Amino acid sequence: MPRNAAVEAHHFEALGTSCSLFGVGVSRTDLVRGEFWVRKLGARVTRFSDRSELAALNRADGEWADVSPEMAALLREALRAYELSGGLVNAAVLPSMLAIGYTRPLAEGTPIASVAVVHPAPRLVDVLAVRRGRARLERGCGLDLGGVAKGWMADRLAAQLGSNSLANLGGDLYAAGQGPGGGGWPVGFGGKTVMLRDQGAATSSVRKRRWGALHHLIDPRTGLPSNSGLEEVSVVAATACDAEIVAKTALLLGPGVATAFCAAHAQAWRFGR
């Protein structure tokens, strides 16, 4: 590849966060199409809209519900995240999120800090079943696909954009190919710039989405916001979704155990306390 090849860039707000798409040999039209894909799929997998696919599954009251191929694949990814994390990345924490006041996007207003009665989240593998074109969630349970959805979407979007592209959806990103200069894509990581090539990165943090003494990252073992001793974990892994899963798991594990987990599942990591 020629040194410093021309990069096309596109920035937009979606999924409640800032998103950026980059590509070498990619047209502006391709990047705008990527934005439309993010917006369209994001509207289907959000818990904040009564018209989304996820909302329909959450209110199915224990019955089997029809789901799109994309939703079925994402639900399977949530099950994989649960297994990889030893149950710590658990999409079935929605009741706890509602109990602490996180009932709407933060862009629409600060939640009212409150803690109603909370319980540990159920085992996801016990309450969620997925078949081809259908899914079933046990009565009384609710899903929030959150960061796993962003990582999953970033991986697929980069593949759609081509072999030399970067998709960053609110910090969950995948960098495909050699980048504009041939040595990878420059990405900020722990206050430094690292070069990523066919790698994903993600940061899990309790520093931004806060209201009062509460924050959005639920520990499924207690049903309460995490108090692990770590406030932020950034990870580089094989994919954006893997990086998201490992970062969140490490944050919930806390110092000590988090290092061993990252050593087993990540290519690089950084903790913030």
1 domain residue, yes or no: no
Distance CA 211, CA 119 (A): 21
Q: Number of structural domains, the chain?
A: 1
Report the CATH number that the domain containing residue 52 is assigned in CATH.
Answer: 3.10.520.10
pLDDT at position 211: 67
191 domain residue, yes or no: yes
Tens of pLDDT along the chain (273 residues) come to 446 789 999 999 999 999 999 999 999 999 999 999 999 999 999 999 999 999 999 999 999 999 999 999 999 999 999 999 999 999 999 999 998 888 888 778 777 766 667 889 999 999 999 999 999 999 999 999 989 999 999 999 999 999 999 999 999 999 999 999 999 999 999 889 999 999 999 999 988 876 677 778 999 999 999 999 999 999 999 999 999 999 999 999 999 899 999 999 999 999 987
Question: What are the distances in angstroms from CA 155 to CA 85, 91, 147, 152, 165?
Answer: 19, 19, 12, 5, 11
pLDDT at position 1: 41
2 domain residue, yes or no: no
Quick one: which H or E segment has residue 200? strand 199-205
39 domain residue, yes or no: yes
Q: Which of 238, 267, 15, 269 is nearest to 248 (CA)?
A: 269
pLDDT at position 209: 73
Q: What residues have CB less than 8 Å from 175, skipping those under 6 apart?
A: 158, 166, 184, 185, 187, 196, 197, 198, 199, 200, 201
Structural domain boundaries enclosing 82? 7-272
